[in-house]
Structure 1
Amino acid sequence: MPNNLCIVKESKLENGMIAIEMHTPLLRVVVLPAKGADIHSIQYKKRENLELLWKAPWGVSAPGMSRLHSEGSKQRWLDAYHGGWQLMFPNAGNECHYKGALYGFHGEASMVPWKYQVEKTGEKLRVRFCTDLTRSPFRLERVLQLESNTATLTIEEKITNLGREAMDCEWGQHIA
């Protein structure tokens, strides 16, 4: 791979789930748009593809394909957990009721599909992920950026309240 080449490609995991792979000469980042735009993998290529995120030994379950028929949002979240890096929003931790809606364990953002768009310019590679939540009036945007000659993943996140009233929320990162 030439020193200044940035590549993005769509691939499939063993279970058929779509993965977005972002490559530079130094990093490989894999994102799962169907599962919360989770960052599934970050590999440092100069150290024999050193994986920087923990991976569950049971692998990734396709959305909606829980290993167990579990009750409760905490168990459903844990059944779908594969390691990696999740965005927790509009709440983190235990499920809660807020303004008449039940918010599940660690929020909805990591459990819903996100759309994506590639924005490659020159020696920078940007992929924009976006979703609208259903239990709360929020739009979430997450832009992941790699530059060809650095080993840096830059993340920009934006949350927009599409509702007519102020909403409290929690916003966290679940990095393994």
Structure 2
Amino acid sequence: MSGPAPSDRRIHLASPDGAFSVTVVATGARVSSVLHTATGTEFLVRTPWADEEWSGTYLSDSSNKEWHRRYAGGWHTLVPHAGDARTLGGVEHPFHGEAAWRRWRVVEHDATSCTLEVVLRTTPFVVRRSVVATAVGVEVRQSITNQSDRDVAFSWTEHPAFSGALIGPSSQLSVGGDPVDIYFPRDGSSHGAFRTVLAEGRGTAELRNHDTGAAVVLRWDPELFPYLYVWQEHHQTAGFPWWGLMDTIALEPASRGYESDGGPLGPIVLAGGASVAASFGLELTAPGLLG
């Protein structure tokens, strides 16, 4: 959804060797910053309105509009679904799922890691998310537990959106070592795109800016997340919500294709009392530190 508002809790982590600092905010358990300390390189995108205070603000007439109005960048988890708001079985599910809108509880916190938890109301789930600052970047570990005694279907998408440090005319994306045909604008031109890449058996995406050497490698479980959404917004949208100010590419491991077929929330079926867990690793190379 948003954030962090000034009242939102921010948790600051550092890798054991001090190479990376990581910030997590309670709203959505969102990773808001992954910074390489020696070069000052921020790897996650941050919108100009990321620190605005939203309490007391009138709401838009849809959660879709409100999400985009408040979007602060960073790395969200989208559970129990991604995409447009929908009503299923009389339950209203907001744009990109309830978990990203809620303020989570901090249950553990030390110098290098934190764990947050939330009990959802649109599904009978307890979601627990741990973020760890590592020597190479950040690791996210998340579990989802069905508290009810019946099967519940849902989808799960991770939504890290990257900064301009990774974007340039020489930037290239590969999935499982196979190049992905995407376009990065040149000479100050603008561009926007969204596509879904089938990632079955290929749980690694690498984005590298060959001009600067900045790179990210994202790793995930391709059996649980057989799709990768690739969202690009490079100063393309002149009006609301980006006003020509957004320059980002998001690489989003997903459990289903983006468009809903109107059926269940997703293809993952969690039995009553059961849990599912996954880990996501982000390895980072800062500009000038060619690996």
Query: In structure 2, the residue corresponding to 1:46 is in which secondary structure?
Result: coil
> 2:113 matched to which residue of 1?
126
One-letter identity of the residue aligned with 2:35: Q
User: What CA RMSD, in Å, does the superposition of the two structures yield over aligned residues?
Assistant: 2.0
Map of 1:60 onto structure 2 = 51
**What's 2:258 paired with?**
none
Following the alignment from structure 1 to structure 2, what is the Cα–Cα distance between the partners of residues 83 and 111?
A: 13
- The one-character-per-residue Cα deviations of 1:58-106 (angstroms, maximum 9, x if unpaired) are 223446455x531111012112211111111101001122222111110
Query: Does the alignment pair 1:101 with 2:91?
Result: yes
Q: Is the 8 A contact 2:117 2:128 kept in 1?
A: yes
Contact 2:5 2:54 in 1 (8 A): no
Which of 128, 138, 142 lines up with 1:153 in the alignment? 138
User: Are 1:31 and 2:21 an aligned pair?
Assistant: no
Report the Cα offset of residue 118 of structure 1. 3.0
Secondary structure of the residue aligned to 1:76 is: helix
Distance in structure 1 (CA, Å) of the matches to 2:80 and 2:56: 23
3-state DSSP of counterpart to 1:168:
strand
Matched, 1:41 2:26: no
Give the Å deviation of 1:16.
3.4
User: What corresponds to 2:68 in structure 1?
Assistant: 78
Unpaired stretches in structure 2, ≥5 consecutive residues: 162-291
Report the secondary structure of 2:65's partner residue.
Answer: helix
Contact 2:5/2:52 (<8 A) preserved:
no
Equivalent pairs: percent with the same residue?
Answer: 24
Residues 1:167 and 2:152 are matched in the alignment: yes
Q: CA deviation at 1:23?
A: 1.6
Aligned-partner Cα distance in 2 for 1:64–1:14? 8
Partners of 1:129 and 1:75 in 2: CA distance: 27
Q: How far did 1:119 drift?
A: 4.9
Instruction: Say how many residue pairs are matched.
Output: 156
Per the normalisation by structure 1, the TM-score is 0.80
Cα deviation code 1:139-158 (max 9, x no counterpart): 101111224xx123111110
Name stretches of at least 5 consecutive residues in structure 1 with no aligned partner.
1-12
CA contact (8 A) 2:49 2:70 kept: no
Distance 1:14 1:126, change over 3 A: closer
The 3-state SS of whatever aligns with 1:78 is helix
